[in-house]
Chain A
């Protein structure tokens, strides 16, 4: 996909369809290629003219981006003016080609673009090749994995997830049913008493938004009372809630529980 196409019509004006260039070097490289120029011997006057025509367009279309392009325009104009100066008369001293200032970055950029294209062509994981999809719940083995108590921050971000995934069953305000914190606390304890442990998210399934908050507060309360603990694998992953009265799995370094 060429970034832009244009035709120089008879009167030298451009009709241009512009797609975004990645930056000034990208535009410059495009002009070099479009005109089939030798990168080491760029006709600076011609390229500068075309470059300026493009940035006029970019400026009208997108002011934000124009800044990046203007600095290069200044460089080009500067090179052009230096090329107009007569060669220094000194016999031994060969004057450096003013165009070096853009040749080097341009070459380097061209090389990196090629490198990027090669990377892009590799067999990318999850695009071209795939591995097994591990939803490690069933592989979860508390005996094997190092578990850590989660911090308040972890809890909060897990709760944020819960809210984000709650289907937003907005309970009508006329429903006066409210579940109190105490009810929720004993509800959680009861559920934990029945099963060995629960997923953090399980405590929130099928709840109304308001109840979500009460449930979260209940969890915090139970943690404070040291009746439950919430752990997860050290490298992050699924959070589980355990009753403290039960022999809990060994966990490693723990920090602030609440």
Chain B
């Protein structure tokens, strides 16, 4: 069964538009148990790895997805003839704040960055990277922001816990500050 199971999963992954969660695979393949599916996926993952294929099997946004290898990006850009849209440095910083500090209010984002962020929040919303998660019980019922599932997919994250915690950045001294200014 495993060989066939692997082939079935490969085929489904090839045809899927979104990352496929294990649950969806289980519903689609009658008789296969979660444990079998997970180990078949892992084997498939290794196959892709060891045979140095053009695609790799990644676990993103709570599911599995076939993605091209990063080293082939230039071919793909030529092939698709599109220049990928980029996030500005300001947008990236704002997104990082929301990702790490969510759920968070706009006013808190602005306090952390020291500048107004209304326009950037709109851009990030339009790109589907952040969303409104609720409103805070404060005067004016301010909007609370958080990241989306698409954010996980775009940044190749399994889930939010895969982000390093901010505490891991605490050993910042003048020296390291200096060091990363160099490469920015």
* Inter-chain contacts of A47 with B (CB < 8 A): none
Confirm or deny: A173 has a beta carbon within 8 angstroms of a beta carbon on chain B.
Answer: no
Residue pair B170, A111 in contact (C-beta under 8 Å):
yes
Residue pair A24, B114 in contact (C-beta under 8 Å):
yes
Confirm or deny: A118 has a beta carbon within 8 angstroms of a beta carbon on chain B.
Answer: yes
Residue pair B93, A38 in contact (C-beta under 8 Å):
no
* Inter-chain contacts of A34 with B (CB < 8 A): 181
Confirm or deny: B23 has a beta carbon within 8 angstroms of a beta carbon on chain A.
Answer: no
Smallest Cβ-Cβ distance to B89: which chain A residue? A22
B169 CB → nearest A CB, Å: 4
* Inter-chain contacts of A169 with B (CB < 8 A): none
User: Number of contacting residues on A, CB 8 A?
Assistant: 48
- CB contacts under 8 Å to B, within A114-137, are 114-120, 122-134, 136
* Inter-chain contacts of A118 with B (CB < 8 A): 164
B183 CB → nearest A CB, Å: 8
* Inter-chain contacts of B4 with A (CB < 8 A): none
- CB contacts under 8 Å to B, within A10-34, are 22-26, 29-30, 32-34
Confirm or deny: B53 has a beta carbon within 8 angstroms of a beta carbon on chain A.
Answer: no
Residue pair A123, B169 in contact (C-beta under 8 Å):
no
Assembled-state Cα–Cα distance A53/B8 (Å): 66
Smallest Cβ-Cβ distance to B174: which chain A residue? A38
Assembled-state Cα–Cα distance A205/B116 (Å): 44
A72 CB → nearest B CB, Å: 7
* Inter-chain contacts of B66 with A (CB < 8 A): 131-132
* Inter-chain contacts of B7 with A (CB < 8 A): none
For B14, B92, B157, the residue with the greatest tally of chain A CB atoms inside 10 Å of its CB is B92
* Inter-chain contacts of A254 with B (CB < 8 A): none
B22 CB → nearest A CB, Å: 19
Residue pair A22, B115 in contact (C-beta under 8 Å):
yes
Cross-chain contact of A109 among B100, B113, B173 (Cβ < 8 A)? B113
Residue pair B93, A113 in contact (C-beta under 8 Å):
yes
Of the four ranges (under 10, 10 to 19, 20 to 34, 35 or more), the interface on chain B belongs to 35 or more
Residue pair A72, B114 in contact (C-beta under 8 Å):
yes
Confirm or deny: A108 has a beta carbon within 8 angstroms of a beta carbon on chain B.
Answer: yes
**With contact pairs A33-B177, A131-B66, A134-B17 given, residues A117 and B73 touching in the complex (Cβ less than 8 Å):** no
For B67, B111, B174, the residue with the greatest tally of chain A CB atoms inside 10 Å of its CB is B174
Residue pair A25, B114 in contact (C-beta under 8 Å):
yes
**With contact pairs A22-B90, A119-B155, A136-B17 given, residues A39 and B173 touching in the complex (Cβ less than 8 Å):** yes
Assembled-state Cα–Cα distance A132/B19 (Å): 12
Residue pair B113, A131 in contact (C-beta under 8 Å):
no
- CB contacts under 8 Å to A, within B31-80, are 58, 65-70, 73, 76, 80
Confirm or deny: A156 has a beta carbon within 8 angstroms of a beta carbon on chain B.
Answer: no
Interface residue ranges, B against A (CB under 8 Å): 14, 17, 58, 65-70, 73, 76, 80, 84-87, 89-90, 92-93, 95-97, 99-100, 111-116, 153-157, 163-164, 166, 169-170, 172-174, 177-178, 180-181, 184
Lowest 4 CB-CB distances: which A-B pairs, in order?
Answer: A23-B115, A116-B96, A25-B114, A23-B114
Interface residue ranges, A against B (CB under 8 Å): 1-2, 22-26, 29-30, 32-34, 36-40, 68, 72, 105, 107-120, 122-134, 136
What are 16 A-B contacts with C-beta separation under 8 Å?
A: A22-B115, A29-B177, A33-B177, A33-B178, A39-B172, A39-B174, A68-B114, A114-B169, A118-B164, A120-B92, A125-B154, A126-B154, A130-B68, A131-B66, A134-B17, A136-B17
